[in-house]
Amino acid sequence: MQNLPDVSRLSSRVVRILAQNPGTMTLSGTNCYLLSHGAGPDIILVDTGSPSPSAPAFIRLLSEHLRTTGGIIRDIVLTHHHIDHVGGLESVLASIRSSGAPEPKVHKFKTPDPGSLRPSRSVVSDEDLEASVRVHSRNDSVINWLEAGDLIGAIELHGFKRLRVLHTPGHTSDSISLLLEETGELFVGDTILGTGSTVINDMGSYMHSLRQLQSQGAKVLYPGHGPHIATSGAVATKITEYIDHRLQRDAQIIQNLERNQQGSTAAELVESIYPDLPERAVLAAERSILAHLSKLEEDGKVTSTPVLNQDGRLWSLSFEAVGQTRNPNNITQG
């Protein structure tokens, strides 16, 4: 894991502050970005890190940077509902209010399917986020719910009119990316990481999102965790690698199921595909394997049946996929 500085200026407009929450899943910590137009104090903050115990240290870094630069956070954009990206919102709003600075506008893409979210310490609901905004609002403000194609906030007031919202689901259903069109700088949340691969919940949506990002021609990529990717060539390579990696994982799953004609559970596939995986990463790997399996099932390549007396499913190659693997060139036999 690459250790990153707590505060880094990455371009004339972008500063990264680590949320002081390093870990197996967060790497050096969540990257929180300050985006300015370069000619005045107004700033957009992208993501707010985790709640306590890491929030106070992050708030100290953020407050010191704003104090020394004279910056004013006018807008806060949340890339998705995971607690390491939105859990610090209440602390950020409280700090801004106590400083006497103007109240910022908070933006988020509304979770499309909130009823499908499993109760989890890693997820913060839209309702809880909106309650946090109200608690710290002087004007009974609420969240500005984003839609794909929206343009955001303070930067629009000062010449940058193209900070565009891209809906990029897959990691989560509410994941967004932000493209500063004039400069080709792209903020991607956890859809792409600076190092390693991300956890995926919906593989079909995720592959579509990667191809959407690929089509933007971005020159710089700012991920939710890990180092940024600083050249257009490296960005293109990174996105291509992410797409290829998922296609290769599909192929591995199909090869494993072909070898085991009795079928396999997701846990058994994880054990076969990731033989040396640390125990702490097994659940995340299983979630990604399940996302692959669900997409392969939608594509008609695998089938599943419930496992008796267990909370899971047994996965096998479909009849059509068996025929394709045994006759990959689709040559008529006779």
The CATH number of the domain holding residue 21 is 3.60.15.10
Single-letter amino acid code for the residue at 277: L
The stretch 299-318 carries a mean pLDDT of 87
Phi-psi sector, 219: left (phi>0), alpha (psi -120 to 50), beta? alpha
In a domain, 244, yes or no: no
> Is residue 277 scored above 50 in pLDDT?
yes
Identify the band that residue 330 occupies on the pLDDT scale cut at 50, 70 and 90. very low
Identify the band that residue 321 occupies on the pLDDT scale cut at 50, 70 and 90. low
Say yes or no: 32 and 143 in one domain: yes
Identify the band that residue 160 occupies on the pLDDT scale cut at 50, 70 and 90. low
In a domain, 2, yes or no: no
In a domain, 50, yes or no: yes
Say yes or no: 175 and 90 in one domain: yes
Residue 158 pLDDT? 52
Say yes or no: 296 and 196 in one domain: no
Say yes or no: 118 and 265 in one domain: no
Separation CA 52–CA 308 (nearest Å): 42
> Is residue 111 scored above 50 in pLDDT?
yes
Could you tell me if 189 and 79 are in contact, meaning their C-beta atoms sit under 8 angstroms apart?
yes
Closest CA to 148 of 113, 122, 116, 175: 175
Q: What mean pLDDT, rounded, does the chain reach?
A: 90
Say yes or no: 169 and 298 in one domain: no
> Is residue 266 scored above 90 in pLDDT?
yes
Single-letter amino acid code for the residue at 318: S
Identify the band that residue 319 occupies on the pLDDT scale cut at 50, 70 and 90. confident
The stretch 263-292 carries a mean pLDDT of 92
Q: Report the share of the chain in percent with pLDDT over 70.
A: 90
Identify the band that residue 315 occupies on the pLDDT scale cut at 50, 70 and 90. very high
The stretch 58-64 carries a mean pLDDT of 98
Say yes or no: 52 and 196 in one domain: yes
In a domain, 278, yes or no: yes
Say yes or no: 262 and 196 in one domain: no
Helix pair 266-273, 232-259: axis angle to 10 deg = 120
Say yes or no: 71 and 166 in one domain: yes
Identify the band that residue 151 occupies on the pLDDT scale cut at 50, 70 and 90. confident
Separation CA 249–CA 273 (nearest Å): 9
> Is residue 40 scored above 70 in pLDDT?
yes
Say yes or no: 172 and 76 in one domain: yes
Residue 324 pLDDT? 57
Say yes or no: 194 and 298 in one domain: no
Identify the band that residue 334 occupies on the pLDDT scale cut at 50, 70 and 90. very low
E strands, the chain, are 7-9, 14-18, 31-36, 42-46, 72-78, 105-109, 144-146, 163-167, 176-180, 185-189, 220-223, 302-306, 313-317
Output the pTM of the full model: 0.91
Query: Of 18-27, 43-52, 307-316, which gets the smallest average pLDDT?
Result: 307-316
In a domain, 241, yes or no: no
Say yes or no: 91 and 220 in one domain: yes
The stretch 60-69 carries a mean pLDDT of 96
Residue 27 pLDDT? 94
Domain region containing 290: 251-326
Say yes or no: 300 and 200 in one domain: no
**Distance in angstroms between the alpha carbons of the first and the last residue of the chain:** 55
In a domain, 201, yes or no: yes
